[in-house]
Amino acid sequence: RPAMPDFDLSGLNAAQREAVETVNGPVLMLAGAGTGKTKALTTRIAYLLAKGHAQPHEILAVTFTNKAAREMKNRIGGLIGDAQEGMRWLGTFHSVCVKQLRRHAELVGLKSGFTILDTDDQIRLMKQLIDAAGIDAKRWPPRMLSGIIDAWKNKAWTPDKVPASDSAAFDSQAVPLYIAYQRRLLELNAVDFGDILLHMVTIFQTHPDILQQYQRWFRYILVDEYQDTNVAQYLWLRLLAQGHKNICCVGDDDQSIYGWRGAEVGNILRFESDFPGAHVVRLEENYRSTPHILAAASGVIAGNRDRLGKTLFTAREDGEKVRLTGYWDGDEEARSIGDDIESMQRGTRGMDPIGLDSMAILVRASHQMRAFEDRFLSIGLPYRVIGGPRFYERMEIRDAMAYFRLAVSHDDDLAFERVVNTPKRGLGEKAVQMIQRTARDNNLSLVEGARIVCQNRLLGGKGLKELTKFVADLDRWHDAVYPDSTPMIDDDAVLDDGFATPVTTYDHIALAEMILDESGYTGYWQNDKTPEAPGRLENLKELVKALENFENLQGFLEHVSLIMENETEEQGEKVSIMTLHAAKGLEFPVVFLPGWEEGLFPSQRSMDESGLKGLEEERRLAYVGITRAEEICAISFASNRRVYGQWQSQLPSRFVDELPPAHVDVLTPSGLSSGAGMVASELHDRAHSADVYNSPGWKRLQSRGQTPNAPRAQSITINATAECAFVAGDRVFHQKFGYGNVDGIEGDKLLISFDKAGIKHVVARFVVSADA
Ligand code: ATP
Ligand code: MG
């Protein structure tokens, strides 16, 4: 490929240029939000390609979300055009790693066509194992055990590496269950999300020849959002980087927001000792936000004790202060924000119209989205939800996907269980147990177990007839997926790196339609008279449409299992709604940050924790939120909110009080400034004073019989006393603090003396009974 010798770096400042031009050796860019880290990183990739330092497939570039990966690709394309094509190793940790694992699957006892389980499958599988072990699933919810195993995988702990102190949890049952779970995954030829990285780390550690191949292969390694890598990801990277040692990581310790998922900010702080001689670049100019926004963000994050601390400045013009509004309740908040968006879109009060694509609502918890979705639907305001309840998580889509999975692999027992009696085939619990027993006794998959049941007529009448048809259907679909027993070899892959990737071709779209038809699944919804049925049929059509972008069912299934966000790309401008976590790395001219209330943001869980760790992570999340805004940042809170069907009175978030007053404009819900001098605490008092009882909001609610609890000035008491089924003296277990005895009950909170962790207040919901 011809080099482009005069690559233009004039759009970068001196420090960024240094990060781009320091081509050899380790480079660390540690800098605050909006300072152009991602810009420098993408320019570096373009530069490496343009200058001929590497071929596209010799660059490993990892980011956090599919959206970020796509954006990076676009930005590189913008800089050097199609010279970036063939960057097959640019993607999320998982997408890149799964590509590797497909090639070496047999080394960890898998076949290359393994399935990737989602959380739902994971938990169902865990439930079966817990049942089989004769353990009471009420005491040890499968979801909780799944969570523990996930956390261990994020720490790169295979069952043998779990330290004794951790394995004591669950009455020392967790490790045996972890082992059983891994064994079952192998039988199913499946992996869960955590396995993808863990398996590759294991392969690299046990097969130095393979590791060396990749080390030679990746001339340059680049990582964005490095502060959020977990231990498994860190080990994987460190192993790969030991080859050329040309690794460039960028991140910001103040934006580490995935500690709850095992991310370790320590990874970024350790970079210089991991890679001696690392070139450290600091960026201090923020190009994204106006001074008021930046000052507000800096003011909040200054409340964290555990940080490196950085200077940030901006040369941008002042702009407007951060807007702060207190609302009566969550509905008023949604309504008012909807109105604000519409008026900005029209352009009012001397402001230019702002397109909907330029606006985003960032929430702490996804349940906050519903109020906005409902409101926007009713006023016809177009919006998109990013990272919310996903299309691929809907029931009908999951059913259809289970059929596709079975067509691709007869080993997929979870898929079999999901659809064997969906639609109803008269194959009830008994029939399924018979199939399971037969499969287990013969050490076969459920599909093969079903075949034996049919051959030996182990079922009677209608069931036998239906099962025989079902197995014949599965065989036919399976044959259609593998038309030729010798798979073709992807030449491109062989040329590139010497590894062969088998691919097969067939008309997968026609096949998908046929499967949904012949299985009776489409007909099932056509005959369904519930109001949801038409929507479900629409979704099934949408699913088949989505297949057009893929070569075969296998590729599609893989894509879906890796998707971490909603990616429906429809035409037209839309407001984006997403969680703060999903907003990482993004920027919008206008950002709304609703729900800044104690117990919501910071989350109740972080407030219940002992120590500051959880709260500091919430504060970083607040920092991430504010720093997404370029021109307008509107923070709000409501005095009342319905949570799990119960009205609660809310207190403004402590982060509201931490906003530096000089950079904040306190507005009344009508959008008018309440005048100088009214600070957050006054707003807060107003929200909790008696005059709320005379407000239109209260009266409206009263007339509907929906009066919330009287606002309480003191604390947010979740009305959960009724749920609290414990009495003093009960023996309990808490996921984090272990075993203990209940000493007292205060509303929804328990005072517990834990065997190891001492005396603590914890929310009753997070505790399970440990009495035999
Ligand atoms: P975050 O920490 O939020 O991920 P970041 O450090 O990755 O932020 P970027 O997204 O790369 O920051 O850049 C923020 C904005 O500043 C972008 O709009 C980018 O185009 C712009 N920008 C970056 N560097 C420069 C520069 N040298 N001159 C002008 N604009 C710049
Ligand atoms: Mg970035």
Distance CA 751, CA 547 (A): 54
287 lines ligand 1 (CB under 6 A): yes
The CA R_g of the chain, rounded to the nearest whole Å, is 28
Q: Where are the domains of the chain?
A: 14-101+198-281, 115-188, 291-388+572-687, 392-562, 721-769
- Looking up tokens 């004769």, which residue turns up? 134
pLDDT tier at 532, thresholds 50, 70, 90: low
Positions of E strands within 444-505: 488-489, 502-503
Token readout for 76 is 């590189």
What average pLDDT does this structure show over 449-463?
92
Question: Which phi-psi region, left, alpha or beta, contains residue 360 (left: φ > 0; alpha: ψ -120 to 50)?
Answer: beta
Residue 684 Cβ < 6 Å to ligand 1: no
CATH class (in words) of the domain with range 14-101+198-281: alpha beta
Give the integer Cα–Cα distance in Å for 235 and 205: 10
- Ligand 1 neighbour 284 (Cβ under 6 A): no
pLDDT category, 482, cuts 50, 70, 90? confident
Residue 762 three-state SS: strand
Structural tokens at position 732: 């309990």
Residues 596, 636 contacting (CB under 8 angstroms)? yes
Query: Average pLDDT in the 602-629 region?
Result: 93
Residue 690 marked ligand-binding: no
Q: What is the ipTM of this complex?
A: 0.99
The stretch 207-232 carries a mean pLDDT of 95
746 forms bridges with which residues in the sheet? 749
* Ligand 1 pocket check for 34: Cβ under 6 Å: yes
- Sign, CA torsion 410/413/417/419: negative
Annotated binding residue 11: no
Is 115's pLDDT higher than 60?
Answer: yes
The closest alpha carbon to 27, from 280, 240, 273, belongs to 280
Check residues 112 and 512 and name the one with the higher pLDDT: 512
CA 492 to chain centre: 32
Greatest C-alpha distance within the chain: 85
Atom of ligand 1 nearest to the CA of 16: 27
What CA–CA distances, in Å, run from 160 to 6, 152, 153, 164, 379?
54, 11, 12, 10, 56
pLDDT surpasses 50 at 283 = yes
Instruction: Report d(CA 173, CA 145) in Å as an integer.
Output: 10
- The verdict on pTM exceeding 0.80 is no
Lowest-pLDDT range of 245-249, 269-273, 338-342, 348-352? 348-352
Amino acid symbol at 9? L
Q: Give the span between the Cα atoms of 86 and 79, in whole angstroms.
A: 15
The answer to whether the beta carbons of residues 42 and 76 sit under 8 Å apart is yes
587 φ, ψ to 5°?
-145, 145
- Listed in sequence order, the residues at least 6 apart from 739 whose beta carbon sits closer than 8 Å to its beta carbon are 731, 732, 733, 754, 755, 756, 770
Q: What is the CATH number of domain 721-769?
A: 2.30.30.140
Query: pLDDT tens, 700-747?
Result: 444 444 333 333 222 222 222 334 577 788 888 876 677 888 888 777
Q: How far is the CA of 252 from the centre of ligand 2 (A)?
A: 9
Domain 115-188 has CATH 1.10.10.160: yes
User: Is 262 labelled as part of a ligand binding site?
Assistant: no
Higher local confidence (pLDDT), 197 or 394: 197
Contact by Cβ (8 Å): 257, 301: no
Beta strands in 525-657 (DSSP E): 575-579, 588-593, 629-643, 646-649
Angstrom distances, CA of residue 212 to CA of 109, 206, 242, 269: 21, 12, 9, 26
What secondary structure does DSSP assign to 292-313, as a single string? HHHHHHHHHHTT-SSS-----B
- CATH number of the domain located at residue range(s) 291-388+572-687 in this protein: 3.40.50.300
- Under DSSP, the state recorded for 142 is H
- The answer, yes or no, to whether any atom of ligand 1 lies below 6 A from the CB of 252, is yes
Q: How far is the CA of 333 from the centre of ligand 1 (A)?
A: 31
Q: Residues 6 or more apart from 427 whose CB is under 8 A from it?
A: 420, 421, 463, 466, 467, 470
Same fold, 115-188 and 291-388+572-687: no
CA of 425 to the centre of ligand 1 (A): 57
- The minimum-distance atom of ligand 1 relative to the CA of 42 is 11
Closest CA to 638 of 719, 577, 697, 718: 697
* pLDDT of res. 17: 96
pLDDT digits (tens, 9 = 90+) for 683-706: 445 444 434 344 444 444 444 443
The pLDDT score that the predictor gives to residue 191 is: 93
Q: Which pair of tokens denotes residue 337?
A: 């924000």
Percentage of the chain exceeding pLDDT 70: 85
pLDDT averaged over the chain? 83
Q: What is the pLDDT of residue 644?
A: 53
Residue 26 near residue 275, CB atoms below 8 Å: yes
Side chain identity at residue 705, one-letter code: G
Looking at residue 19, its pLDDT comes to 95
Query: How far is the centre of ligand 1, averaged over its atoms, from the C-alpha of 745 (Å)?
Result: 50
* Shortest-distance Cα residue to atom 2 of ligand 1: 33
Superfamily covering domain 392-562: PCRA; domain 4 (1.10.486.10)
What does 166-197 look like in DSSP terms, one character per residue? Answer: HHTTGGGTHHHHHHHHHHHHHHTTEE-HHHHH
Active site residues: 37-38, 224-225, 255, 628
Contact 382, 557 (CB under 8 A): no
Partner residues linked to 61 by β-bridges: 90, 222
